[in-house]
Structure 1
Amino acid sequence: MGTRQVSRSAVVAAAPEQIFALLADPAQHPLIDGSGTVRASRGSAPARLSLGARFGMEMRMGAPYRIQNTVVEFEENRLIAWRHFSGHRWRWLLEPAGDGRTEVTETFDWSTARSPLAIRLLGFPRRNAEAIEKTLARLGGMFPG
């Protein structure tokens, strides 16, 4: 990945369809979030995301705030990504790994961020790498093979 992307992968003991169903449901995002910032879906978020869908989240990083996201990539049971006003993306790629398992790759892509310097100065690439690892571990724990 490029210098403005942070990715981690893990093999999860679940089929891509099972994992995608979780990722495509914004109400489930707080359950897998390893950053500790995602609190709850809010507003008129759809029950299931699709390309172009908009969904809000209640967040907390020091102080509570709300964020609006838009799904910008979508391939059923394989790929989903969303971005918010700052321009960076959260991307999930699912690849079958055999025996009902899936290689899950989560990427924090800040190559399209409006303020890449601010992201770097605030330490988000490093912090997001740690959070992604925790998120993948939580995701794996939801499907304990």
Structure 2
Amino acid sequence: MTADQRYVVTRTIPASPSEVFAVLADPARHRDTEPGDWVRDAIDPEPITAAGQIFAVNMFLPQAGGHYVMHNLVTVFEKDRAIAWLPGQLDDAGHHAAGGWSWCYDLSPDDGQTDVTLTYDWTDTPQSFRDQIGGMPPFGSDFLTESLAALESSIS
């Protein structure tokens, strides 16, 4: 499951790639794909339509001081095939990665179902940030397994 500085987990979901992608491309549904309650509501619930788009969601994490906003830069957008984003913050210079990690969902049709591969990659997380939060990643690979189960439940 761990390859260098990534977790990669796959789950077969009994839904078409377009059904799965529709949830992933809808910022208002992102809280439905998490096993916990870190992700809250979308600030702008407009669907994601292209790479380069930024979507913002309210977040809550006691270790991060409670409520905060995460601005996610979409780095991959291949309708019904793949979507990825780089979480970060906005400042006067634009978007910058908050900690250097990314989320990527790859979808592959599988006999009326969809194999969904979720990759959490923290390769680009600076050591200073790793030290600040007590190491990377801040959760085990089981978090991704639970995320894919939550994604499946949100479609069923």
* TM-score greater than 0.5 by the shorter chain: yes
TM-score (norm 1): 0.86
Per-residue deviation, 1:2: 3.1
Cα distance in 2 for partners of 1:105, 1:74 equals: 15
The yes-or-no answer on 1:129 pairing with 2:141 is yes
- Could you list the runs of 5+ residues in structure 2 that have no partner in the other structure? 88-96
Runs of 4+ in 1 over 6 A off after TM superposition: none
Q: Do the aligned residues in 1 keep the contact of 2:14 with 2:113 (CA within 8 Å)?
A: yes
Alignment partner of 1:65 out of 68, 74, 82? 68
Number of equivalenced pairs: 142
Matched position secondary structure for 2:139: helix
Cα distance in 1 for partners of 2:142, 2:135 equals: 11
Cα distance in 2 for partners of 1:67, 1:96 equals: 31
Per-residue deviation, 1:48: 2.8
Moved more, 83-92 or 8-17: 83-92
Q: Do the aligned residues in 2 keep the contact of 1:16 with 1:77 (CA within 8 Å)?
A: yes
Matched position secondary structure for 2:74: strand
TM-score (norm 2): 0.81
Matched position secondary structure for 1:30: helix
Q: 1:78 to 1:120 in 2, by over 3 A?
A: farther
Kindly provide the CA deviation profile for residues 11-50 of structure 1, in whole angstroms up to 9, marking residues without a partner as x. 00000011001100111000111242101111x4532342
Cα distance in 1 for partners of 2:37, 2:113 equals: 26
What residue number does 2:93 align with? none
- Indicate the RMSD between aligned Cα atoms, in angstroms: 2.2
The yes-or-no answer on 1:106 pairing with 2:107 is no
Cα distance in 1 for partners of 2:128, 2:115 equals: 29
